[in-house]
């Protein structure tokens, strides 16, 4: 773990409730620069909510704190700054359907970073080549397969040169034959030292790529450790039960 | 034939045509000014209703409900005949455009709101996650998609505004209808009224046909 840098994301007693229903029960978590963290757990365990709090797509209780690169996450003027540093890839891609692939990737650098057009386009084409779909630049998202769309979404997030990338079940809405191409891109990305927090049901990916695996259940962080610790020698009964259920089918 | 001489008297129509066309110009002036003001006002209200503080949002809802409920003719008469009592004296043209725009803005705001709400939440979330400001989210992401959804109902609203310009004749505005009634009185023959009706239909029929085609086009599920 010595390739990891200092703490990039710091989460303290993160609590989130919808009315009487508590989704997250006081989560504490530190994520280091360059670390790849995979969050696993059953549906409704709060894992998506957890990463959506990091860029404040979900508001959280006031006595909780999250800092990204030293900046407090919360409503207010610093939020845009945090969001510019935190890229996100969604389960349903959420590409802009009325723009070409190229424009999708260039938009945020042009508007938020005020990058000159020529520079933004050069960078966008470079990123498309990196995710393996350079030839699709002029197409619209609706003309691409799900796997290609998700790779565009990854390129769009990378275009802001974020300090961390959040993945919210990036392969869950893909046809099975397209899961591999997206995971390949993410695997390559992990190898380049990008900080990644990945909510996923792909246990093979988590085992192979993660520096640390976190198991969540019922809005609590139940167990965390290296992939070997979690997959080969889980300590908590709930972790064992979950892994038995997902691995034996 | 007596009937043809009464309702379709060619000589009367030809004599009154220049007057009718002058009226058409006025009708178009009122209509286009009201459509533009109504569009701008409606867009502003729709966006303010999304982002403004809750007290302002409440006021906007109040405005929209009031101006969708009040009959346009009543509003027009209030603007033209009642406002002078508090020292606001508007010309017939400004009165007509004011009344038409106030109502059109209320309808347009509802149309834009429906269009913006039809955009999936994921588009707002993706914009937020990229760090786009509210303004850029609207201008670059949401509105270009919403506009395609709202073009048919907006065109419908434009048709209604153009038709409603005929009400301006009650505040002595020399629009198409007013010119026609005057020509009718002059010629002691109703043919100019028929002429005016034909001009309204010729003006609006193409727009009605376009809306029908647009609605068909958009209902094919193309977004």
Report whether pLDDT(A2) > 70: no
- Point out the residue among A57, A84, A95 whose CB comes nearest to the CB of B131: A84
Report whether pLDDT(B8) > 90: no
- Point out the residue among B123, B128, B223 whose CB comes nearest to the CB of A83: B128
Please compute the mean of the pLDDT values over residues A93-110 and round it to a whole number: 97
Nearest CA in chain B to A88: B129
Name the pLDDT band for A249 (thresholds 50, 70, 90). low
**Alpha carbon B221 to chain centroid distance?**
27
Q: Give per-residue pLDDT as tens, B51-64.
A: 889 999 999 999 99
Nearest CA in chain A to B143: A98
Residues of B with CB under 8 A from a CB of A: 120, 122-123, 125-126, 128-133, 136, 140-141, 144-145, 148, 223
Please compute the mean of the pLDDT values over residues A75-96 and round it to a whole number: 93
Residues B75, B102: contact at Cβ < 8 Å?
Answer: yes
Mutate which of B120, B123, B126 to disrupt the A interface (most A C-beta within 10 Å)? B126
Q: What is the mean pLDDT of chain B?
A: 92
Q: What value of ipTM does the predicted structure carry? A: 0.94
Q: Give per-residue pLDDT as tens, B188-197.
A: 899 999 999 9
Residues A183, A171: contact at Cβ < 8 Å?
Answer: yes
Say what the pLDDT of residue B98 is. Answer: 96
Mutate which of A56, A99, A111, A152 to disrupt the B interface (most B C-beta within 10 Å)? A111
- The ranges assigned to domains in chain B are 3-222
Nearest CA in chain A to B135: A111
Q: What is the mean pLDDT of chain A?
A: 94
Report whether pLDDT(A172) > 80: yes
Inter-chain touch A84–B123, beta carbons under 8 Å: no
- Point out the residue among B120, B132, B148 whose CB comes nearest to the CB of A112: B132
Mutate which of A108, A110, A127 to disrupt the B interface (most B C-beta within 10 Å)? A108
Say what the pLDDT of residue A208 is. Answer: 94
A186 vs B213, more confident: A186
- Point out the residue among A90, A97, A112 whose CB comes nearest to the CB of B131: A112
Q: How much of chain A, in percent, has pLDDT values that exceed 90?
A: 93
Bridge partners of A199, per DSSP, are: A39, A168
Which chain B positions have a beta carbon within 8 Å of A58's beta carbon? none
| Secondary structure in 3-state letters for chain A | CCCCCCEEEEEEEEEEEECCEEEEEEEEEEEECCCEEEEECCCCCCHHHHHHHHCCCCCCCCCCEEEECCEECCCCCHHHHHHHHEEEECCCCCCCCCCCHHHHHHHHHHHCCCCCHHHHHHHHHHHHHHCCCHHHCCCCHHHCCHHHHHHHHHHHHHCCCCCEEEEECCCCCCCHHHHHHHHHHHHHHHHCCCEEEEECCCHHHHHHHCCEEEEEECCEEEEEECHHHHHHCCCCHHHHHHHHHHHCC
Say what the pLDDT of residue B222 is. Answer: 46
B204 vs B148, more confident: B204
Contacts of A177 (CB under 8 A, 6+ apart): none
- Point out the residue among B125, B131, B145 whose CB comes nearest to the CB of A98: B145
CATH code for B3-222? 1.10.3720.10
- Point out the residue among B122, B128, B140 whose CB comes nearest to the CB of A107: B140
Burial B39-63 (b: 16+ CB within 10 A, else e): bebbbebbbebeeeeeeeeeebeeb
B50 vs B36, more confident: B36
Inter-chain touch A97–B223, beta carbons under 8 Å: yes
Report whether pLDDT(A18) > 70: yes
| pTM of structure | 0.86
Nearest of B107, B109, B81 to residue B96 by alpha carbon: B81
Q: Please give the interface size between A and B, counted as residue pairs whose CB atoms are below 8 Å apart.
A: 61
Nearest of B109, B209, B122, B218 to residue B154 by alpha carbon: B109
Report whether pLDDT(B210) > 50: yes
- Point out the residue among B122, B131, B132 whose CB comes nearest to the CB of A94: B122
Q: Are strands A36-40 and A195-199 parallel, antiparallel or unpaired?
A: parallel
Inter-chain touch A156–B145, beta carbons under 8 Å: no
**What are B167-170's contacts with CB under 8 Å, separation 24+?**
B167/B72, B167/B73, B167/B76, B167/B96, B168/B27, B168/B30, B168/B76, B168/B92, B168/B95, B168/B96, B168/B100, B170/B73, B170/B76, B170/B77
Q: Which of A73-77, B83-87, B92-96 has the lowest mean pLDDT?
A: A73-77
DSSP 8-state symbol, B223: -
Q: How much of chain A, in percent, has pLDDT values that exceed 70?
A: 98
Which chain B positions have a beta carbon within 8 Å of A112's beta carbon? 130-133, 136
Residues of A with CB under 8 A from a CB of B: 55, 57, 80-81, 83-84, 86-88, 90, 92, 94-98, 107-108, 111-112, 156-157, 160
Q: How far is A129 from chain B (nearest CA, A)?
A: 21
Say what the pLDDT of residue B2 is. Answer: 83
Nearest CA in chain A to B141: A96
For A93, phi and psi rounded to 5 degrees? 65, -55
């Amino acid at each position: 773990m010595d390739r990891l840098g200092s703490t990039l994301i710091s989460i303290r007693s993160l609590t989130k409730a919808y009315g009487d229903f508590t989704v997250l029960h006081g989560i504490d978590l530190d994520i280091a620069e360059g670390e790849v963290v995979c969050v696993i757990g059953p549906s409704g365990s709060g894992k998506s909510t957890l990463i959506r709090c990091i860029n404040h797509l979900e508001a959280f209780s006031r006595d909780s704190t999250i800092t990204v690169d030293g900046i407090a996450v919360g409503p207010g003027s610093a939020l845009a700054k945090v969001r510019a540093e935190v890229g996100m890839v969604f389960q349903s891609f959420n590409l802009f359907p009325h723009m070409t692939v190229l424009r999708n990737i260039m938009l945020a650098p042009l508007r938020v970073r005020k990058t000159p057009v020529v520079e933004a386009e050069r960078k966008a084409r470079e990123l498309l080549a990196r995710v393996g779909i350079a030839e699709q630049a002029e197409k619209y998202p609706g003309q691409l397969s799900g796997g290609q769309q998700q790779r565009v979404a990854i390129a769009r997030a990378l275009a802001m040169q974020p300090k961390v990338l959040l993945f919210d079940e990036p392969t869950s809405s893909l046809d099975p034959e397209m899961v591999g191409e997206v995971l390949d891109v993410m695997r390559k990305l992990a190898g380049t030292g990008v900080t990644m927090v990945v909510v996923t049901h792909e246990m093979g990916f988590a085992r192979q790529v993660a520096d640390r695996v976190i198991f969540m259940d019922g809005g609590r962080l139940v167990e965390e450790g290296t992939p070997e610790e979690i997959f080969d020698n889980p300590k908590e009964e709930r972790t064992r039960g979950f892994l038995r259920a997902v691995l034996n089918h | 034939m007596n009937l043809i001489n009464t309702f379709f008297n060619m000589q009367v129509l030809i004599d009154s045509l220049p007057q009718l066309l002058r009226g058409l110009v006025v009708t178009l002036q009122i209509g286009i000014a009201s459509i533009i003001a109504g569009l701008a006002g409606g867009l502003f209200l729709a966006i303010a209703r999304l982002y403004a503080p809750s007290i302002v949002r409440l006021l906007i809802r109040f405005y929209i409900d009031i101006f969708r409920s009040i009959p346009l003719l009543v509003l027009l008469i209030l603007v033209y005949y009642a406002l002078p009592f508090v020292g606001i004296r508007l010309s017939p043209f400004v009165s007509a455009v004011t009344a038409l725009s106030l109502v059109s803005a209320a309808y347009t705001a509802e149309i834009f709101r429906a269009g913006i709400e039809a955009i999936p939440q994921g588009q707002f979330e993706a914009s937020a996650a990229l760090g786009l400001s509210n303004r850029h989210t609207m201008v670059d992401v949401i509105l270009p998609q919403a506009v395609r959804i709202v073009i048919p109902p907006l065109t419908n609203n434009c048709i209604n505004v153009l038709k409603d310009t005929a009400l301006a004749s009650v505040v002595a505005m020399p629009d198409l209808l007013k010119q026609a009634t005057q020509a009718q009185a002059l010629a002691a023959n109703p043919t100019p009224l028929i002429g005016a009706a034909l001009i309204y239909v010729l003006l609006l029929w193409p727009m009605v046909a376009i809306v029908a085609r647009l609605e068909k086009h958009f209902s094919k599920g193309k977004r």
